[in-house]
Amino acid sequence: MTAEGKVAPAWALEWVRRTGVSPDDAARAWAADELVELPVGVAWDLVVLPVREGWRAVQILQDLGEAGPVLLTPQGVSVLVPPGSARGWHLPGARILRRPGTVEAPPPRVTAPHTLCRRSWIVPPDGGGTLSDADALWGAYAAALTADGRVGR
């Protein structure tokens, strides 16, 4: 890929800026095929789900038109939700990451099945700042767990 093909779009750098990270630093890192460490709990929290059920939950959200950005990391499927919106979640296997956590994000152009350092976007961020609704995600994840027999019917 040419260096020009690795230039991060302006909207992606604005998305990074909202987290407090330097857009210039992010642009340089992404152009060099490096991950960018982004703080959690500033512009969004992360709901980390087990891979199998997480993929199912994301498919349900996509079918409903409710899917915001979703990362695949070695820790699982990480769904970006508005800060504080997933408080009180009590479903098996789900972890909520808030401040002062961080996540390492590949450039938005790295989408599954492609990876960078074992990370990729299942749903890349968009230019509008869309996030997944935590209540819709809760329902989708509960449905995925029920389908796997992990939650009573």
- C-alpha angle 132-25-75 in degrees, rounded to nearest 5: 45
Q: Are 20 and 91 in contact (CB under 8 A)?
A: no
pTM for this prediction: 0.89
The letter for the amino acid at 118 is R
Q: Are 81 and 68 in contact (CB under 8 A)?
A: yes
Q: Where are the domains of the chain?
A: 39-147
d(CA 71, CA 125): 9
Residue 40: per-residue pLDDT = 96
- Condensed to tens digits (0 to 9), the pLDDT of residues 112-147 reads 999 999 999 999 988 777 899 999 999 999 999 998
